[in-house]
Chains A and B, each alone.
Chain A
Amino acid sequence: MTDRTDKYMGQALKRKEDPRFITGAGQYTDDFVLPGMLHAAMVRSPYAHARITGIDKSSVEGMPGVVAVLTGEDVAAAGAGPIPVGWLLPDLKVPPHHAVAQGEVNHVGDIVAVVVAETRAQAEDAAGLLAVDYEALPSVALGSAALGEGSPQVHDDVPGNVAFRWEIGDETALNEAFNRAHKTVKVKLRNHRLVPNAIEPRASLAQFSPASGEYLLYTTSQNPHIHRLILAAFVLNIPEHKLRVISPDVGGGFGSKIFQYQEEVAVLLASRLLGKPVKWAARRSESFVSDMQGRDHESEAELAVDAEGRMLGLRVNTVANLGAYLTLFAPAVPTYLYGTLLNGVYKFPAVHAKVTGVVTNTVPVDAYRGAGRPEATYLIERTVDVMAHELGMDPAEFRRINFIQPDEFPYQTPVALVYDSGNYEPALDMALDMMKYPDLRAEQERRKGTNKILGIGVISYLEACGLAPSALVGQLGAQAGQWESSLVRVHPTGKVELYTGSHSHGQGHETAFPQIAADELQIPIEDIDLIHGDTGRMPYGWGTYGSRSAAVGGSALKMALQKITAKARKIAAHLLEASEEDVEHADGVFRVKGAPGQQKTFFDVALMAHLAHSLPDGMEPGLEATAFYDPKNFVYPFGTHVAVVEIDTDTGVVKLRNYGCVDDCGPLINPLIAEGQVHGGIAQGAGQALWEDAAYDEEGNFLAGTFMEYAVPRADDLPNFQTDHTVTPSPHNPLGVKGIGEAGTIASTAAVANAVMDALWHECRIAHLDMPYTSEKVWRAIREARQGAGMGQAADD
């Protein structure tokens, strides 16, 4: 055993998992091959809304390699139930969501049939030729349009296309606040729809063993236990221990791999019916019309301030487009993960929000990186900037005078949450310093009227993550617990395996979790490995989403480790014939205080725990512990992000020139990993502001079905990012940690949008445009505004 001197927590260690990824030895779902494996291809609806009037299986039966065609009828005959919703609201209308459409398709990409063949190419060939008759039905794509008088009905059992109406906050108090207002602004905002686009497309490989009645499913999942629970208990109707879900290396998720999808049901059923393993792997074009999409809000926001610029109230009215079906967390995202965050970092006496959840003939919408919180942040921070501009105040100063102060925590907001801890001003100051804010404003002034104008977007965000406590979320409608588990298994040699219910799909858990353990156990990190992503090996857990892994999963680990060290200390004391209080645990050994020669290593203790030749009276052998941690509250990371854009007024091209941020997610376990998470998050959020758009036409035809039409940020589009952090620990979890996985995305959309609008306000008094800020949109807006103000270049016209 090598000596360890450093503390591991807080070190920017290189990741333990990387050697396999950089050498091509990662094992992703599509890399697995099982003997006799067949391949499935999905036949997907080309219609946004249609009745299926006939499927002629004979059109492909007999084609090379084709083994079977499964339709909705076959799936129903096999006894598979619809995919359930995981979060219920009062009076929620839930249309049935079948693995394979039964009689009616409700969005482009909805699965009509499954073709199974010996090779993937054969399955795809046949899927392309299967004869399906449709009768097209009227369809609708935009949330507000679906609410309109006489709009097409998406589902007969969802009258008026309203799945739910939800509100939060005190409307009377808000109206009173508005009556006292010195100034109000009203902004209409569209938070457009996105496709998460993890670079690894989804895939599933199922194997049913008739002899044991057991199922094995390899799948691209962020939370294998949730998949097991839903598939076993609700869809297949089998005991959950008969289904083992393995989620091996997963190539990014960003929320899109949380949910229970149709294809997983399809391959499991196909494997059972055909007695062979069946694999499906998505083409990217399938990902575009079958991965859950994100955002898609149409909102009206009104902000009121008093004569000093102090915020009095925020009124929000949002139409949330849920798509064709309600998926796992869909009802929670635009309600509890959005409405409760509308207070932001400000001292609002009153906030009131109404949300209408609407079904349309589009791909379902569910959690995408940040889930509700980016939508809230964008709405607040955009509206705050519009007000600052109207007041003629510096946007950063306007924020500063409205911050909740550090001595006001825990802070009860008017929209249900109690913020645990925070200190917003230092993050703002550091971010402004970092970016040399006064210089930027001076440069902006200098560039006014030129063809390269500058915009500066400053936003201060707050997010809630580490969803909690289970009893509370249960009251709010969650059909899931929100705790996490961890098992620590010490082997006789002192080598350690950690098992967690959370899941790593890029977040570096195989390094960060051992960092926590190495410090607690005082042993080298090389002796510790993390196991995750396999329901056959781990205790129960709820997986990774909502930046919960460190705060909730890490806390469970810490508790299990504490049980280990408590027992190890007892064993050491026994071996050293000392009292427990006299035994110190440091630098890898247990020592008797004041007797330097008297010591036992972690290895000695682990070995004796297993040999059990000499243990304290009544102690069980072994050195293993499990802990379940149910958080007491959410954790509330925060920070300030600053984006700087340059706009070419001749072409409308927006260039993100600089980006800097200061985030506070409590103590960092591994700064390298935390920073990487922030970088990736910024890119995705900036992507929404500037390029990404999951566009539909009015009828629900999808207009962005490949990377040709849907622009994700490329290396060339982005600058280097400047990052820094402050540290305000959470008072209520054993590590003090918060979460950082989504912060970048939550903040950057608003920061980049504010930067673009800041440029356009300074230049030509445009108060608001909706994202994404394509060159054409920006160019037209500038041109019209300049013309309107008599600044048009007459020669142009």
Chain B
Amino acid sequence: MNVTVTVNGKAHTRDVEPRTLLVHFLREDLGLTGTHVGCDTSQCGACTVHLNGDAVKSCTVLAVQADGMEVTTIEGLGTAADLHPLQAGFWEKHGLQCGFCTPGMIMSAAELLRHDPDPSEATIRHHLEGNYCRCTGYHNIVLAVQHAAAAMREREAGQAADD
């Protein structure tokens, strides 16, 4: 089946088997290996991407369901030269160790901050309960998200003042 998905701003058309999951489409067809697979029961969140702006577990979405839609993966969030505040926050606060859960964690946190620019610790913990990290114990992940939220609020405020 032919699907056309816009990933990180670029449209890709591919012929896929109907059962192809979005995560495999991204990793295998497009070579975007930043999105990871950590489980087969939609629990770990390592595969989290944004689909038309919402965070989804790409292991529970078929590639054909994403036909005509916009996907953002970790590769599209920010680059090494221009990090997204969450990427910078995870780096600053040591919110990662092996880094395997990190792309999914960041994509999930990005959704939270879009809806709640100043989340409490409890809100962050609650929001991230679908993303497993086996390395960090979450302590620094919470700090990373708080750090990023503050940076983003500051940026917003700066922009508002500029306008």
Smallest distance from the beta carbon of B90 to chain A beta carbons, Å? 5
Residue among B35, B73, B97 making CB contact with A680, cutoff 8 Å: B97
Smallest distance from the beta carbon of B149 to chain A beta carbons, Å? 15
Q: Which B residue sits closest to A672, measured CB to CB?
A: B94
Tell me the complex Cα distance, A150–B72, Å: 60
B33-89 contacts to A (CB < 8 Å): 33-41, 43-44, 46, 73-75, 77-80, 83, 87
Smallest distance from the beta carbon of A11 to chain B beta carbons, Å? 13
Tell me the complex Cα distance, A507–B131, Å: 20
Q: Kindly list chain A residues whose C-beta atoms are within 8 Å of the C-beta of B124.
A: 715
Q: Would A121 and B19 be within 8 Å (CB), given that A14-B92, A199-B38 are in contact?
A: yes
Taking the complex as formed, is A200 at the interface, i.e. its CB lies under 8 A from any CB of chain B?
Answer: yes
Inter-chain contact B94/A680, CB cutoff 8 Å: no
Taking the complex as formed, is A283 at the interface, i.e. its CB lies under 8 A from any CB of chain B?
Answer: yes
Inter-chain contact B137/A24, CB cutoff 8 Å: no
Tell me the complex Cα distance, A715–B44, Å: 12
Tell me the complex Cα distance, A283–B78, Å: 29
Tell me the complex Cα distance, A715–B77, Å: 23
Q: Kindly list chain A residues whose C-beta atoms are within 8 Å of the C-beta of B131.
A: 715
Smallest distance from the beta carbon of B62 to chain A beta carbons, Å? 13
Smallest distance from the beta carbon of B30 to chain A beta carbons, Å? 12
Q: Would A682 and B32 be within 8 Å (CB), given that A199-B46, A672-B94 are in contact?
A: no
Inter-chain contact B137/A680, CB cutoff 8 Å: yes
Inter-chain contact A706/B99, CB cutoff 8 Å: no
Q: Which A residue sits closest to B92, measured CB to CB?
A: A14
Q: Kindly list chain B residues whose C-beta atoms are within 8 Å of the C-beta of A715.
A: 124-126, 128-129, 131, 133, 138, 141-142
Q: Kindly list chain A residues whose C-beta atoms are within 8 Å of the C-beta of B100.
A: 26, 28, 198-200, 251-252
Taking the complex as formed, is A681 at the interface, i.e. its CB lies under 8 A from any CB of chain B?
Answer: yes
A179-187, A474-482, A595-603, A716-724 - interface stretch: A716-724
Inter-chain contact B38/A284, CB cutoff 8 Å: yes
Smallest distance from the beta carbon of B96 to chain A beta carbons, Å? 6
Inter-chain contact A200/B38, CB cutoff 8 Å: yes
Smallest distance from the beta carbon of B48 to chain A beta carbons, Å? 12
B96-134 contacts to A (CB < 8 Å): 96-103, 106, 121, 124-126, 128-134
Taking the complex as formed, is A548 at the interface, i.e. its CB lies under 8 A from any CB of chain B?
Answer: no
Inter-chain contact B98/A251, CB cutoff 8 Å: yes
Inter-chain contact A680/B134, CB cutoff 8 Å: yes
Inter-chain contact A31/B91, CB cutoff 8 Å: no
Interface flags, A16-35, vs B, CB<8A=1, else 0: 01111111111110110100
- Max chain B CB contacts within 10 Å: which of A30, A707, A744? A707
Inter-chain contact B74/A714, CB cutoff 8 Å: no
Q: Kindly list chain A residues whose C-beta atoms are within 8 Å of the C-beta of B79.
A: 23
Inter-chain contact B101/A680, CB cutoff 8 Å: no
- Max chain B CB contacts within 10 Å: which of A22, A200, A684, A721? A22
Tell me the complex Cα distance, A33–B33, Å: 11
Inter-chain contact B134/A684, CB cutoff 8 Å: yes
Inter-chain contact B134/A712, CB cutoff 8 Å: yes
Q: Kindly list chain A residues whose C-beta atoms are within 8 Å of the C-beta of B40.
A: 283-285, 706
Tell me the complex Cα distance, A21–B74, Å: 10
Inter-chain contact A201/B129, CB cutoff 8 Å: no
Taking the complex as formed, is B136 at the interface, i.e. its CB lies under 8 A from any CB of chain A?
Answer: yes
Taking the complex as formed, is B155 at the interface, i.e. its CB lies under 8 A from any CB of chain A?
Answer: no
Inter-chain contact A716/B99, CB cutoff 8 Å: no
Inter-chain contact A506/B98, CB cutoff 8 Å: yes
Inter-chain contact A714/B142, CB cutoff 8 Å: no
Tell me the complex Cα distance, A25–B74, Å: 9
Q: Kindly list chain A residues whose C-beta atoms are within 8 Å of the C-beta of B37.
A: 30, 201, 281
Q: Which A residue sits closest to B103, measured CB to CB?
A: A24
Q: Kindly list chain A residues whose C-beta atoms are within 8 Å of the C-beta of B33.
A: 24, 27-28, 30-31
Q: Which A residue sits closest to B31, measured CB to CB?
A: A33
Tell me the complex Cα distance, A596–B138, Å: 51
Q: Which A-B residue pairs are the 6 nearest by beta carbons?
A: A24-B34, A21-B99, A251-B100, A506-B98, A683-B137, A506-B97
Task: List the interface of chain A (C-beta within 8 A of B).
Answer: 14-15, 17-28, 30-31, 33, 121, 197-201, 249-252, 254, 281, 283-285, 505-508, 672-673, 675-677, 679-684, 706-708, 712-716, 718, 720-721, 744
Apart from A254-B134, A716-B126, 16 more pairs, CB < 8 Å = A14-B92, A21-B102, A22-B90, A22-B96, A22-B99, A22-B103, A22-B106, A24-B33, A24-B35, A27-B33, A30-B33, A680-B134, A714-B129, A720-B139, A721-B137, A744-B137
Task: List the interface of chain B (C-beta within 8 A of A).
Answer: 17, 19, 27, 31-41, 43-44, 46, 73-75, 77-80, 83, 87, 90-92, 94, 96-103, 106, 121, 124-126, 128-142
5 A-B interface contacts by CB (under 8 A): A25-B80, A121-B19, A716-B126, A720-B121, A720-B142
